[in-house]
Structure 1
Amino acid sequence: MPLTRVTLERFTAFTHLSLDVSPGINILIGANGTGKTHLMKVCYAACDVSRSGIPFSEKLVRVMLPSGGSPGRLVQRSVGNRSGTATVHRGDMKLDVTFSRDRKLPPGDKDSAWVAQPVQSVYIPVKEMLANAPGFRSLYAAREIHFEEVYKDILDRAYLPKLRGPIDQSRKRLLQSLQDIIGGQITVSNEEFFLRNRNGNLEFTLLAEGIRKLGLLWLLIQNGTLAASSTLFWDEPEANMNPGLIGTLMNFLLELQRGAVQVFIATHSYVVAKELDLRTKDGDDLMFHSFHREENSGEIVSSTASTFHDIDPDPISDTFTDLYDRQVSRSLGGLE
C-alpha cells in the first residue's frame, strides 16, 4: 500500500504540516529552506523501516544526521518548543514518533502492522555516489563518517544482483529505453561500476554525472528495486542532467507510476515540472505540492494542485516570467 499522508508537528522547519499525497507522482517545489528534502526523508525512513524493522526514530536520526546524533535537534528551533512529532500514514496504518529536547532517542517505536506490509523503497540523493562507491560501505560500517545514511542505502540497492527469473515486458521496455540513452549496460567488478558497450568497459569516474544517474536507474530496474508497489524518492533529478534528456527522464518516471511505483521528487526546475505536466495522460495521478513561508508568521505552509498551471504560489514559473519580462524589456531598449 502506498503512502497516503504525512503530518509533521514542530519538526525541523515545520510548525504544522498535514499533507495528503498521491499514489502516483508527487512533485515538491518551493524555495530553499522550505523543507522539501526533510519531508522526503521522513517518508523514506518510514518506508525503509517497514523492511528493516529498526525503530522509526533511529532511522530518522540516521538519514537526517543531526549534530552529535541528538534526536532533540530535530525539534523545530523556536522558543517554547520542547518536542516534535512525525507521522506517516498508509491508509489506516500509521507510524509516528515524538522527539524531545529533554531526552535521547524515544523508546522503540516498531509497529507490527506497518512491518507486516513492507514497502520496497529507494532514495536517490542529489550527490551521485556510484563513481565513489568502492570501499564506501565498509568504511561506513567501520568508522563514524559524517554521511547521511541515504548514501549508504543507495549503494546497498545498486549493488543488489540481478533479479532471478524472466524479465517482464514492462521492465524489459524500461531497461531498453535506458540502454538506448546511455549506450550500453551497467556492470560491477570489485565494487566498481562500469558502462559496458561495444568498445569495452568504461569506469563511472570517466562518465558524465547525468549518465551515471541514468545508469543507476537501469540497475534499480534490473535488480527489481523499482517494481510494482515500491516507492522512489529523488532529490533534484535535474542536477547535472542535460536539459535535453529531462523530458525522456520524466517520461520514464511516468512509466514507473503507470507500473504502480509511487514517486516523490523535489525540484527547482521549470523543465522538470512542465515536462511532467505536458506528458501526463489520462489515468496518470500527479500532485504538485508547493511550499512557502507565510510572510507574517514565517511558518511553512503548503498548497496542492493536480496541474502545474494551478500551483499557487509557483516560485519556479514566477522566476521564468521575470526573466522573460526582463528580456522583452531589454529587447525594447529598456522601455516599460
Structure 2
Amino acid sequence: MISEFRLENYGPIETAIGKKLGKINLILGENSTGKTFLLKALYSAIRSHEEANKGNSNQDFSEVLSDKLYWTFQVDKIGGIVTKGDSKRLSASISFDDKSSLAFSFGKDTTKKIVPDQNNLTKRESNSVFLPPKEVLSLMNVIDKSTNHDKVFGFDATYADLVAALRLPTQKGRNHDAFASSRKQLEDMFFGKVEFDLSRNEWVYKKGNTKFSIMAAAEGVKKIAILDTLLGNRYLNKDSIVFIDEPESALHPTAIVKLLDIVSVLAQAGIQFFLATHSYYVIKKLALIANHNEMPIPTFMASPEGNWSQSCLLKDGLPDNEIINESIRLFEAEFEGSFK
C-alpha cells in the first residue's frame, strides 16, 4: 500500500500531506478545492511506475511519467501543472509500506522530460486504476479514437487507461473468494449483468435471457459494471490501488451503501482505496464501516489556502465538515418547522 505522500505546488494544491494511510482513505472538499487533482496526482505517479518497462514497452520511468502527466492534466507543457507564482516548483514524494519511495520535482519551464530525484520502488505486477464519476462503457470507442488515434485533448489519460483495462477478456476459473463474492453482490444490485457480446461486438446489459443495448442501461448500472468487469478480467488483484472520484455519482443512496460494503470487503482482501466525495451518504456509511471493522479510514480536507492534511480518523467519529454541517442544518430546520 501507499503509506505516505507529500505534494507541493501541484496545480490548486499548495501542499498535501498524508501519513499512516489506510486500506480506505477519504478525501473531502468543496468544488474546485482540488479533490480530483489530488487523486490524479497520486494515480499518475503510481501508474507510471507500473507501466514502465512492462511488456513490450521500452520506455523508462522518466518517459512514462512525463507522458502520463502530460495526458492526464492536458496542459501545453508539463510545467503548466505547477502552481502559479514566481520561482515555484512542483514536488511530489510517495512511499510504500515496504519502505520504497519515489520523488520528483520540476519547475514551470519544464516541457516534456522529468528526471526523478529518487526512485527505489520495487517492481509492481499489480495494477492501479482511476474510476471517474461518469461511466465509460458506452463511450469506449470514442475515448479510444480520441486518445490513441487522433491524440487530441478531451478525455484524459485516466479514461484511456480505464478503457484499455476494460478491453481485457473476462478470465475463467476460480477467482479470489472476496472478488467472486463482490462480483455476485455487484450483479445482484441491478438484477442483471453487463458483459461484452463478441457476436455483436458491443457491451450489452443482460437480464435473464434478454439482452439490451448498453445505451438502454441506466448510468448507475454501467458504473457498477465497470468495477465488476475489472474484478472479472483479473485486472485488479489483492495488491491493486483503486482511486474513485465521486463514488456516489449516478447511484441511488441504497446503491451507494451497497457499493461501499463491497469496497470494504475488497479493502480487507488487500486492495487500497482512495475515495473523493462530497456526499453525506458516503461519509456516514464509511464511518459505520470504520467503526464496525475497526478500520481507521484517514480523512483529508483542504484549508481555504489549498493546504490538504489529515483531519481525523473516521473510526473516531465524523469530521467537522460543511457536508456534515449542512445535513445537520437541514435536519434542524425540518425539526423546528414541525413545531410551528
TM-score normalised to structure 2 length: 0.88
**Aligned-residue CA RMSD in angstroms?**
2.3
Task: Please list, as runs of the form range in 1=range in 2, the aligned pairs for 1:48-87 lying within 5 A after superposition.
Answer: 48-53=47-52, 54-55=61-62, 56-66=65-75, 68=76, 70-78=77-85, 80-87=86-93
- Between the two proteins, the alignment pairs up a number of residues equal to 326
Choose the corresponding residue for 1:198, options 197, 201, 208: 208
Match for 1:143 among 138, 150, 163?
A: 150
| Offset from partner CA, 1:162-187 (integer Å, 9 cap, x none) | 23542233222112112212222332
2:329 counterpart residue number = 322
1:228 aligned residue: 238
SS of the residue 2:180 aligns to: helix
1:54-203 equivalent positions in 2, closer than 5 A: 54-55=61-62, 56-66=65-75, 68=76, 70-78=77-85, 80-91=86-97, 92-109=99-116, 113-114=120-121, 116-145=123-152, 146-189=154-197, 192-203=202-213
Tell me how far 1:193 sits from its aligned partner: 1.2
Give the unaligned 5+ runs of structure 1.
none
2:309 counterpart letter in structure 1: S
Whether 1:209 and 2:210 are equivalent positions in the alignment is no
Which stretch has the larger CA shift, 314-323 or 49-58? Answer: 49-58
Q: 1:258 to 1:312 in 2, by over 3 A?
A: closer
Secondary structure of 1:175's match?
helix
Question: Is the aligned partner of 1:240 residue 2:247?
Answer: no
After superposing the two structures, state which structure 1 stretch, 233-242 or 48-57, moved more.
48-57
Partner residue of 2:301 out of 291, 294, 308: 291
**Residue aligning to 1:277:** 287
Aligned equivalents of 1:135, 1:267: Cα separation in 2: 27
- 1:305 and 1:112 map into 2 onto residues whose CA distance is 30
- 1:240-279 to structure 2, matched below 5 A, reads 240-279=250-289
Counterparts of 1:267 and 1:72 in 2: how far apart (Å)? 28
**2:50 corresponds to which letter in structure 1?**
R
The answer to which of 212-221 and 117-126 deviates more is: 117-126
- Secondary structure, in 3 states, of the residue corresponding to 1:239? coil
> Tell me, what secondary structure is at the counterpart of 2:178?
helix
Q: 2:327 aligns to what SS in structure 1? A: helix
Question: Could you tell which deviates more after superposition, 321-330 or 235-244?
Answer: 321-330
SS at 1:133's partner residue?
A: helix
Report the Cα distance in structure 2 between the residues aligned to 1:263 and 1:307, rounded to whole angstroms: 15
* Residue aligning to 2:57: none
Task: Output the CA distance in 2 between the equivalents of 1:110 and 1:212.
Answer: 41
Shift in CA distance, 266/112, structure 1 to aligned 2, threshold 3 Å: closer
Identity fraction in percent:
22
Residues 75, 81 of structure 1: 8 Å contact kept = no
Ranges in structure 2 where 5+ consecutive residues have no aligned partner: 53-60
Q: 1:82 to 1:304 in 2, by over 3 A?
A: closer
